C-alpha cells in the first residue's frame, strides 16, 4: 500500500479537489480557456518538416498544421511573392500563426527529438501545397516564428517528410479570437526573461520493491503560490506540467503505462511541491 503521508500532505481540501478536477478535465481534453478573448482549437495535420537546431545539430521537427479558426494572411499572388522575397524587407508580409510549446518525441530511429506545432489558416495552407514556392515560404515564416519566440537558430537545409504529416499527437492550442493589428502570433508575446524553466522533480514507485502499484512524481515549484496557476496533463506514459505565466514547463516520459482517470494531484503551499500519484497499469515494453 502507498504511504498515506505521500497521498495526503498539508494541502487544504478545497485546493486538492480543485486541482484534481483540473487534472481530469485536462486529461479528457475538456479544459476550457480562462479568457473570453481566446478559444481552444484542434488543428488538422499538414506537413512535417525535419531540420536541426544550430550549433549542436539537435534534430528538430516542425509540424505545420491547418485550421480555419486561424485568420488568413492578406491575398498574395505568385508574382507578388516573388517580389516580396526579392525585397529588402520580406518580413513586412505577416502570416497569422499559432506557435505551440516544444514537446519531446521519438523519431524513427528511436532517438529523442524536439517537435514544435505551427498552425496557419487552412485555406492558405492548401494554397501553399499547390505551389512549391509558396510551400517553401510557409516553412520559412514558420522557422522564423519559432526562432523569434524560442531564441532558436534553425538550419535552413530542411526536409519535408513524404510519408508523415505529423510527429507525435495532435494537441489542442489556445489562440486569441481578438488579435492586435499587424501581429504574427496568436499567443501573447513573451520576453526572453520570462521563458519557462524546467523544474526539479523526482519519480519513485510504491511499493519500492516488487510490482509497483503507484508511480509518484514530486515536482518542486518555488514561487508558485496557488494551484490555480498550474495546468497538468497526464498521458498514459507522459506527464506535462505548465505553471503560468511562463514560470515552469515540464514534459517527461516515464517507463510505465498508468491509469489516467484515477490519477490525482496535490499541491502543498508550504513546501511548494506538487505531488502527482498515478496508479500503474503495466510497464512500457
Longest dimension (CA), the chain: 70
Q: What was the pLDDT predicted at 20?
A: 52
262 to 20, 130, 231, 259: CA distances (angstroms): 10, 47, 17, 6
Backbone angles phi, psi at 187, to 5 degrees: -120, 155
pLDDT surpasses 50 at 228: yes
Q: What was the pLDDT predicted at 25?
A: 54
Does pTM top 0.85 for this prediction?
no
Lowest-confidence pick of 14-18, 80-84, 263-267: 14-18
pLDDT surpasses 80 at 135: yes
Dump pLDDT digits (tens) for 103-132. 999 888 888 899 999 999 999 999 999 999
Dump pLDDT digits (tens) for 86-101. 887 776 788 888 888 8
- DSSP secondary structure code for residue 198 in this structure: P
pLDDT surpasses 90 at 275: yes
Q: What is the mean pLDDT of residues 24-40?
A: 53
pLDDT surpasses 90 at 200: yes
Q: State the CB neighbour count (10 A cutoff) for residue 39.
A: 15
Amino acid at each position: 500500500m502507498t504511504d498515506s503521508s505521500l497521498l495526503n500532505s498539508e494541502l487544504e481540501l478545497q485546493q486538492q479537489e480543485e486541482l484534481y478536477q483540473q487534472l481530469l478535465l485536462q486529461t479528457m481534453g475538456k479544459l476550457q480557456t480562462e479568457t473570453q478573448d481566446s478559444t481552444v482549437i484542434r488543428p488538422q495535420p499538414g506537413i512535417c518538416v525535419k531540420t536541426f537546431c544550430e550549433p549542436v545539430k539537435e534534430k528538430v521537427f516542425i509540424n505545420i498544421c491547418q485550421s480555419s479558426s486561424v485568420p488568413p494572411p492578406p491575398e498574395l499572388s505568385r508574382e507578388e511573392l516573388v517580389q516580396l522575397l526579392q525585397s529588402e524587407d520580406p518580413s513586412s508580409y505577416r502570416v497569422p500563426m499559432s506557435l505551440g510549446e516544444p514537446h519531446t518525441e521519438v523519431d524513427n530511429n528511436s532517438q529523442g527529438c524536439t517537435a514544435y506545432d505551427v498552425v496557419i489558416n487552412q485555406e492558405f495552407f492548401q494554397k501553399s501545397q499547390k505551389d512549391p514556392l509558396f510551400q517553401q515560404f510557409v516553412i520559412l515564416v514558420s522557422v522564423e516564428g519559432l526562432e523569434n519566440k524560442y531564441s532558436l537558430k534553425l538550419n535552413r537545409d530542411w526536409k519535408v517528410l513524404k510519408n508523415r504529416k505529423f510527429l507525435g499527437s495532435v494537441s489542442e492550442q489556445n489562440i486569441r479570437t481578438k488579435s492586435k493589428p499587424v501581429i504574427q502570433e496568436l499567443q501573447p508575446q513573451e520576453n526572453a526573461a520570462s521563458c519557462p524553466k524546467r523544474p526539479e522533480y523526482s519519480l519513485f514507485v510504491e511499493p519500492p520493491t516488487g510490482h509497483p502499484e503507484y508511480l509518484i512524481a514530486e515536482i518542486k515549484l518555488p514561487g508558485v503560490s496557488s494551484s490555480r496557476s498550474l495546468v497538468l496533463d497526464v498521458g498514459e506514459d507522459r506527464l506535462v506540467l505548465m505553471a503560468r505565466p511562463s514560470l515552469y514547463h515540464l514534459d517527461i516520459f516515464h517507463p510505465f503505462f498508468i491509469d489516467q482517470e484515477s490519477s490525482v494531484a496535490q499541491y502543498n503551499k508550504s513546501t511548494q511541491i506538487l505531488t502527482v500519484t498515478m496508479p500503474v497499469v503495466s510497464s512500457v515494453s
